[in-house]
């Protein structure tokens, strides 16, 4: 695989979108239901006990975190599951015989991951309107961080799918890396409520900046500067995207 030709991106992108859309009850509806259950449980228990930002109820604070968590997890799941399924079933060979460039592979897989992540995130946002109507004080931040976050996790899913040889390895990657990084990024709390040591650890987590920057779009308030968050997330995205493109260029674990 060589070059940066973009021929074939469209058909492969449509195939990847259709792959998850044909089982939307599992790939879109199920994550939306999971996020709603989180909101019902945590919102009911903590609504009267926690106020993170002045004038913002805990349920309202929780909504952007759950939306972004759903975007990130499903973007990762889309590209990683697609690649590992193709490798295990053996149909990856049909892509290898095409003249698709690494850039075309990347854009199609990550593009479809972004679409799935944003579909799930939009679904979560719509169902939570009933519980806590969201405000959009600075919507551009929400859009920027949602797209960048989905792109980064789609790229990371591509790397994980290339690396894994079986579903157990992919599950380990998700359970021991993606899930902890997401849950410890301030989905359910403000990092300012943590002891100083754990605040420092949280600020080393790029997932924190994705969620915090996304939340900025709702309330106009955040734990970190949105420009700092943008710099961290943008740099992380470029780094992960570069690694994914390099692995595709060398044919890592897909040529044998």
pLDDT in tens, 92-112: 888 888 888 999 999 999 999
What distance in Å separates the CA atoms of residue 98 and residue 167, rounded to the nearest whole number? Answer: 26
Residue ranges for the chain with pLDDT beneath 70: 1-4, 44-56, 134, 255-256
pLDDT of residue 94: 83
Domain ranges of the chain: 9-250
C-alpha neighbours within 13 Å on the C-beta side of residue 219? 24
Sign of CA dihedral 140, 6, 1, 80: positive
What distance in Å separates the CA atoms of residue 116 and residue 240, rounded to the nearest whole number? Answer: 19
Instruction: Tell me which residue of 123, 166, 121, 170 sits closest to 148, measured CA to CA.
Output: 121
Per-residue pLDDT tens over the stretch 61-88: 889 999 999 999 999 999 999 999 998 8
Burial 1-23 (b: 16+ CB within 10 A, else e): beeeeeebbeebbeebbebbeee
Per-residue pLDDT tens over the stretch 184-207: 888 888 787 778 888 888 889 999
- Integer angstrom CA distances of residue 216 from 66, 143, 148, 225, 227: 14, 11, 15, 9, 11
- Report the 10 Å Cβ neighbour count for 126: 11
- Report the 10 Å Cβ neighbour count for 75: 30
């Amino acid at each position: 695989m060589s070059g940066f030709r973009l021929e074939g991106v469209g058909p492969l992108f449509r195939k990847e979108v259709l792959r998850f859309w044909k089982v939307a009850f599992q790939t879109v509806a199920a994550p939306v239901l999971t996020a709603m259950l989180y909101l019902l449980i945590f919102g009911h228990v903590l609504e009267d006990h926690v106020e993170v930002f002045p004038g913002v109820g805990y349920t309202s604070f929780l909504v952007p975190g759950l939306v972004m968590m759903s975007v990130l997890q499903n973007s990762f799941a889309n590209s990683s599951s697609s690649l590992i399924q193709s490798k295990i079933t053996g149909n990856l060979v049909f892509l290898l015989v095409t003249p698709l460039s690494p850039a075309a592979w990347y854009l199609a897989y990550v593009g479809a991951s972004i679409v799935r992540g944003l579909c799930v995130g939009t679904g979560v946002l719509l169902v939570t309107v009933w519980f806590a109507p969201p405000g959009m004080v600075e919507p551009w931040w929400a859009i920027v961080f949602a797209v960048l976050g989905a792109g980064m996790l789609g790229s990371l899913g591509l790397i994980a799918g290339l690396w894994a040889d079986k579903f157990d390895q992919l599950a380990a990657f998700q359970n021991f890396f993606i899930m902890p990084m997401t849950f410890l990024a301030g989905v359910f709390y403000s990092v300012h409520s943590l002891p100083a040591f754990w605040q420092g650890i949280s600020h080393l987590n790029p997932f924190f900046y994705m969620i915090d920057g996304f939340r900025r779009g709702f309330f106009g308030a955040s734990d970190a500067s949105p420009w700092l968050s943008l710099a961290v997330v943008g740099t992380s995205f470029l780094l992960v995207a570069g690694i994914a493109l390099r692995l595709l260029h060398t044919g890592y674990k897909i040529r044998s």
